[in-house]
Structure 1
Amino acid sequence: MASSKLVPSNPSDVMVIRDLTPNLTTLSVPFLRAGAIRIGGRATLARLPTGNLAVFSPVALTPEVRTKIDELAGPRGGTVSHIVAPDLEHHIFLSEWKSAFPGAKLIGPAGLPEKRAKTAAQHNPDPRIKDDPFAVVFPLGDEAKKRSVKVDPDFDAAFDYEFVDAHANREIAFFHRPDRTLIQADLLFNLPAHEQYSRVPEDQRSTSRLADRIFTALQTTEGDLTWVRRFHWHVASRRNRPSFNASIRRINQWDFVNIVPCHGETMLGDGKERFRNVFAWHLQDEPK
């Protein structure tokens, strides 16, 4: 599906820019999955120790976002130095950001550079997606190979990361140590997406559609999580559950208290508890 069917045509009018912690700012927008299900989208700006910025799952680079970048990086003369696609799906705006910040390093999972190159080479290519070179690609393979990946000293001074390549979307989870925050894309949703639709006209916010209700029930962190756990156990991790479980356990060892998902509400203060509740079966290595 062309990106124009997924992202808002008026991003400045609907985006919510929020300073989440002293070093993290979120950019939240409405977003449709499969052009129909309201899951919202979210980018995260992270200030690195040098004053440079990393952006995760970038959304539209609006004038308001540029102003926020200047505010965050300006006092120390920084710039956007890292542009991160945390999985195979969150890459629509990489080229727009790379064009604005040509010195920034593109980071993503194995398979994404090829996916984008194929899209760019099509007869009627998606104009947002170009065949940009990646500086760091997280590789598939054995654990030693995955553990050997390093980005650079500036980025690594603030982040730990785990490549959950057993996930269908090849998720890379990032732990921002200074602000004890887990930043991730599709590993964990927290629907419904209230903040991401808060600036959308009221008649477009409803989740009355059956598809919305079903998907929200499978992608939340509140209430009875039986079906959420079943989804992760039987669907999300089915390709290689032992590897998936090992990744979840490594992430669980990180000392995070907040979670920033791409889809749904951010989790502040109780992120670790919600993570453990959702992935309880994977932490136990069996359904209960």
Structure 2
Amino acid sequence: MPNSSRLIPQSPASVMVMRDVTPSITTLSLPFKRFGIIPIGGRATLVKLTSGGLVVFSPVALTEEVRAKVLAMGNDVRYIIAPDIEHHIFISEWKSAYPAAQLIGPAGLPEKRAKLVGEDLKISNDRFDHVFTSQNKGTFAITPEFDADFAYEFVDAHPNKELVFFFRPDRVLIEADLMFNLPATEQYSRVPGEDGKPGWMGWIFTKLQSTAGDAKGQKQFLWHLASRGDRPAFNESVRRIAEWDFETVIPCHGDVIQRNGKQVFEKVFEWHLKKEGDL
């Protein structure tokens, strides 16, 4: 039994929510439970570059409906991106379907996947074309067409080695685990019954990963846990991201934040954006 089997809905097509966030961006949202008990949802994002090529972030199951959407968007998948060391299960499936696409991910992920080859049937020994590292951070370039549309930051101080992308044409921030926006309402909107309702552990985690109100729980999570390994470097990354002029935030877990995404981001990362003397 492949290790990833317990992370994938038995029938992805029946529960997937496909939505056009902008004319160039489509989200593919699915139910997903962390540790099998905490409903945090999962999401892939399809982006059409101004050059016409397609980018997929955090790939999910390549259902017939998803293939049809890719076809409608031009069928030219040029980049497949794992935005951290956790969001990579469906990379091989997409690479097999679109072999000309370039694979992009953070340091540590190629090695992690190599160890899983033969143990997890979803994972093949795929070669990454571009790998973000602490050494090439700040000088890294992907391709001229990609870099014309995207700015990006490697938050290497985050435990999951987060890659965060800013799609300039639509003013959209795309990220994985840097910031959650629970509860995962859209991602569980097609799940019948009580399956999307959190138990007591899920209730606590949702409070810790919510952007509602003063977002005190998520602020504490980010300050005391996510950034504790190297808080100065984490702060520097967050401050660079905050310089981007985005208005929408597309997270992998929880609902998309539209119109006031920048304000929500600044609220959640308030402590990291302050100068040291102001803390």
In which range does the TM-score fall when normalised by the shorter chain?
over 0.9
Distance 1:34 1:98 in 2: 27
Task: Trace 1:1-288 onto structure 2 (pairs within 5 A).
Answer: 2-73=3-74, 78-121=75-118, 125-141=119-135, 145-207=136-198, 209-285=199-275
Specify the code of the residue in structure 2 equivalent to 1:28: S
Cα root mean square deviation, aligned = 1.2
User: Aligned letter for 1:211?
Assistant: M
Query: Structure 1 length normalisation: TM-score?
Result: 0.94
Quick check: 1:258–1:270 contact (8 Å CA) kept in 2?
yes
The two structures have a TM-score, normalised by structure 2, of: 0.97
Taking the aligned partners of 1:38 and 1:269, their CA distance within structure 2 comes to 25
SS in 2 for 1:173: strand
Structure 1 gap segments, 5+ residues each: none
Answer yes or no: is the 8 Å Cα contact 1:7–1:32 preserved in 2: no
1:285 & 1:231 partners in 2: Cα distance?
19
CA distance in 2, matches of 1:284, 1:120: 43
Task: State the 1:206 CA deviation.
Answer: 1.4
Equivalent AA in structure 2 for residue 214 of structure 1:
I
Name the aligned partner's letter for residue 13 of structure 1.
Answer: S
Query: What is the deviation of 1:227?
Result: 2.1
Q: Please tell me whether the aligned partners of residues 190 and 220 of structure 1 are also in contact (alpha carbons under 8 angstroms).
A: yes
Equivalent AA in structure 2 for residue 106 of structure 1: L
Distance 1:204 1:89 in 2: 23
Q: CA deviation digits over 1:27-69, x for unaligned, max 9?
A: 0000111121100000000001221100000000000001111
Distance 1:277 1:17 in 2: 28
Cα displacement string for residues 72-112 of structure 1 (whole angstroms, at most 9, x for unaligned residues): 11xxxx51010000000000000000000000000000000
Which residue identity does 1:283 align to in structure 2? L
Q: Matched residues in 1 for 2:4 and 2:214: separation?
A: 34
Stretch moving more, 147-156 or 258-267? 147-156
Partner Cα separation in structure 2 for residue 13 and residue 72 of structure 1? 22
> Secondary structure of the equivalent of 1:70?
helix
CA drift of 1:285 comes to 4.0
Q: Give unpaired runs (5+ residues) of structure 2.
A: none
Q: What is the identity percentage for the equivalent residue pairs of Structure 1 and Structure 2?
A: 56
Q: Is the 8 A contact 1:39 1:264 kept in 2?
A: yes
Say whether the 8 Å CA contact 2:214–2:267 is kept in structure 1.
no
- CA shift, 1:225, in A, is 1.8
Displacement after TM superposition at 1:118 (Å)? 0.5
